Structure 1
Amino acid sequence: MSKTLIVLNAGSSSIKFVVFDVTEGKPVNMATGQVEGLGASVSRFTAKDGEGQSLGEKDFDKASGAISTHTQAVDLILKWIDDTFPGTEVVAVGHRVVHGGVRFTKPVQINDDVVAALEELTPLAPLHQPHNVAGIRAAQAAFPGVPQVAVFDTSFHRGHPFVNDTFAIPREYYNEGVRRYGFHGVSYEYVTRRLKQIAPLDAEGRVVIAHLGNGASMCAVRYGHSIASTMGFSALDGLPMGTRCGNLDAGVLLYLLDQKGLSSSEIREILYSKSGLLGLSGISQDMRELEASDKREAREAIDYFVFRVRREVGALSAALDGLDAMVFCGGIGENSWRVRERVLQGMQWIGIDLDEEANHRNARLISSPLSRVRVYIVRTNEGLMIAEHTLTVLGLAAPEIQAFSADGTAAQRPSA
């Protein structure tokens, strides 16, 4: 009987999943999919195999039983796995958890104490943490007795120097946990490890990674470790995103409270769901739609996005005392040659010279031979990273995966 591991990424209205064969202690992608539209009038299930070919899709409406809860979604996923891969045994479940606070600096096996601690972190990530916990509880109900592991988006950033970790407000708040946590850490960790395989010398230097997608951030990495991140206390800070505002003067919040009379919940809705590319353009949060539009508002939204990315390239390079390599990842970073081109235009001053032809075809290396700073596209794989961590925590990993170094980062492994 083959052994499988399931990775779950629970959001507010969806659960994404990846099914891995781990019979040999190495994750092999069998399927990816998601249940989206939880609680909506119509919910949808989709799945693809490891090669990206469709394994099926189905819509659920009120008449056919729309999926309204995380528990129902996990039950649907479990039934689909049983039907699609008969004779397999689920031996572990790995969860992406957005916030680990100060306590969780590495992946951990989930128990009642861990779940309680994650719930206590809800005020630090009110729009993410409750859904992550709901996904864990749903998986516990669906897979009784199966060990589960939490992998945290914040863990990769926990070694930041104090100056990159704090705000200039009374120190008592820092001691209470009001600090810059940084997010997208699972993606940054995978990309950092992948870069070690692609370009070991660059990976040991000063690297800026741009995770550009519906959620967007950038990270300064030195010697494989996070030094600074554009995201801070929450997943709102830094770059503009699909619907999130990015960097914002705190005085704007005071204005909305005092002069506009908005409640905290109304402000939260604006900052998380009505801002970013969607708010600036009034058209869409999808970069592909904005690039295809001839409207001025679409162009200006892209202009602002590019401006903020360019600004952070300089800021993060300063935090690193220079720059040796830059990496693009995420949906926009991996696929939009136009955004990459505009970000890198005129960057010769920092040592970047773009190879336009390589950039247009989404090559792995998109800097020219004349470029002092190498620029790469690395396709991130958060699911694989979570699977490897889960196997390692549970002692189920093959030796090359389980060979973690003393500082908690995995040793170089074969290409995925």
Structure 2
Amino acid sequence: MKSKLSSYILCLNSGSSSLKFSLYDPVSRQMEIAGVINAIGTLNGWFKVSDSRGTLLKNEAGLFKDMHTAVESLTKWLDEHQSKYPLTAIGHRVVQGGPDHRAPEMLTEQLLKTLKQFIFLAPNHLPEELAIIHIFLEKFRNLPQVVCFDTFFHRDMPFCGHHYPLSSKYTSKDLIRYGFHGLSYEYIMLRLKAKHIPIKSKKIIIAHLGNGASLVAVKNGCSIDTTMGVSPIGGLVMSTRSGDLDPGAILFLLKHNKLSVDELDNLLSKESGLKAIAGTGDVRELLEVGHTNATAAKALALFCYTVRKQIGALTAAMGGLDILVFTGGIGENLAVIRSRICKDLAFFGIALDSRLNLCNREVISSEKSRVLVHVIKTNEELVIARHTQNMVQLK
């Protein structure tokens, strides 16, 4: 039911090649508008906006040469529709805020200046996120704005999950395991709670599988370990990211290939993973050719293998497993990937119902499965809206 308030919280969530936004009613917490600008930086850009009933309000191809161009297109659309959708606050997703900035914060010039000091921790994410924030701060100075960090969910990880075995000379300088995808994980926990699942007494693994992918182990309602560490490059093999590497492999690249730090960063972030093996990081494309293309098949096998291996590791870390949740674009939509990941995990008590899995049902485990396996569509924007409302205390 629509609130009598005629103003909305704007939630912004940028990725490497996309800009998602939503408008939420601050009272009902219902989404009124959802939009995305996809394929930024390519010739296949697309700007799509729909309302809560699924009615398309905009569905146009366009060339968005960079994130700045995409933001300009979005602000233009907001200006054109401000009489119908006036804004009352803005919430931003930010991947990393260092060790002292994890909880949601009101946006200020000083915070923006401080966050720029942590670009080195997420050089492939923070620069564009902060550039977007700067544009909206300049354009909407009269509106309260809130920054929501992806590391917040992992703030209470214990020592074993949080720290590297390095001298305090280095770890005291922000070199710790932060963990990411926290807004997505927070939403999944809200959904499980809404299902009346006693989450504080369950051992849960959430697999956020998309172009960026990670797993988290949640015990007693808290993150105790996760596959990503100091940056979103680590952990699982991903679309274009390497995931975990032997430190010796990194030294090898530096010494024998004479790579600069920037070249190494670009290699591990944008030219590795599935793309390095099979020429593309798109899992759907790999599935289409995997039955005839040996390298595509190997890339998919490695992806599923690393996810399966980390499920085993995180299960051991918790001393058991009660619930496994798949989310993210791959986890939510590709039944064959879920099936391949769960193959050979029967000894953990995981058994899928093939029919439920193919239908993308919310619970896909069989009746004989000791572990409940869920498929839940994530909603980071709703979590941003909730944090923004709480910070601004919109009534």
Tell me the CA shift for residue 46 of structure 1: 2.5
Q: Which amino acid aligns with 2:171?
A: Y
Tell me the CA shift for residue 372 of structure 1: 1.3
1:367 counterpart = 2:371: no
CA-atom RMSD in angstroms: 1.9
User: CA distance change for structure 1 residues 311 and 177 in 2, over 3 Å: closer, same or farther?
Assistant: same
**Counterpart in 2 of 1:289?**
285
Tell me the CA shift for residue 243 of structure 1: 0.8
**Counterpart in 2 of 1:403?**
none
Identity %: 39
> Helix, strand or coil for the counterpart of 2:356?
helix
**Counterpart in 2 of 1:341?**
339
User: CA distance change for structure 1 residues 36 and 354 in 2, over 3 Å: closer, same or farther?
Assistant: closer
Distance 2:200 2:183 in 1: 17
**Counterpart in 2 of 1:30?**
32
Tell me the CA shift for residue 315 of structure 1: 0.4
User: CA distance change for structure 1 residues 203 and 354 in 2, over 3 Å: closer, same or farther?
Assistant: farther
Listed as ranges, the matches of 1:76-87 within 5 Å are 76-84=73-81, 86-87=83-84
Distance 1:303 1:52 in 2: 36
**Counterpart in 1 of 2:188?**
191
Could you report, residue by residue, the CA deviation over 1:204-240 in whole angstroms, capped at 9, with x for unpaired residues? 3100100011110000001221110000011011111
Tell me the CA shift for residue 13 of structure 1: 4.8
User: CA distance change for structure 1 residues 34 and 227 in 2, over 3 Å: closer, same or farther?
Assistant: same
Equivalent residue for 1:3, pick from 4, 7, 25: 7
Tell me the CA shift for residue 44 of structure 1: 4.2
> Helix, strand or coil for the counterpart of 1:220?
strand
Tell me the CA shift for residue 325 of structure 1: 0.9
Distance 1:41 1:377 in 2: 33
Contact 1:97–1:150 (8 Å) recurs in 2? yes
Contact 1:8–1:96 (8 Å) recurs in 2? yes
Could you report, residue by residue, the CA deviation over 1:46-65 in whole angstroms, capped at 9, with x for unpaired residues? 3233344432233445xxxx
The size of the alignment, in residue pairs, is: 389
Contact 2:67–2:128 (8 Å) recurs in 1? no
Contact 1:192–1:203 (8 Å) recurs in 2? no
1:240 counterpart = 2:237: yes
1:91 counterpart = 2:88: yes
Tell me the CA shift for residue 348 of structure 1: 1.8
Contact 1:231–1:237 (8 Å) recurs in 2? yes
Listed as ranges, the matches of 1:245-324 within 5 Å are 245-282=242-279, 284-293=280-289, 294-324=292-322
1:56 counterpart = 2:52: no
Contact 1:82–1:88 (8 Å) recurs in 2? no
Contact 2:199–2:221 (8 Å) recurs in 1? no
User: CA distance change for structure 1 residues 141 and 35 in 2, over 3 Å: closer, same or farther?
Assistant: farther
Distance 2:28 2:120 in 1: 36
User: CA distance change for structure 1 residues 262 and 28 in 2, over 3 Å: closer, same or farther?
Assistant: same
Distance 1:356 1:141 in 2: 52
Distance 2:351 2:43 in 1: 50
Which has the larger displacement, 37-46 or 132-141? 37-46
Contact 2:37–2:48 (8 Å) recurs in 1? yes
When normalised by structure 2's length, the TM-score is 0.93
Q: Which amino acid aligns with 2:331?
A: G
User: CA distance change for structure 1 residues 228 and 75 in 2, over 3 Å: closer, same or farther?
Assistant: same
Could you report, residue by residue, the CA deviation over 1:231-276 in whole angstroms, capped at 9, with x for unpaired residues? 0011011111111111111111111111111112221111111111
Contact 1:108–1:149 (8 Å) recurs in 2? yes
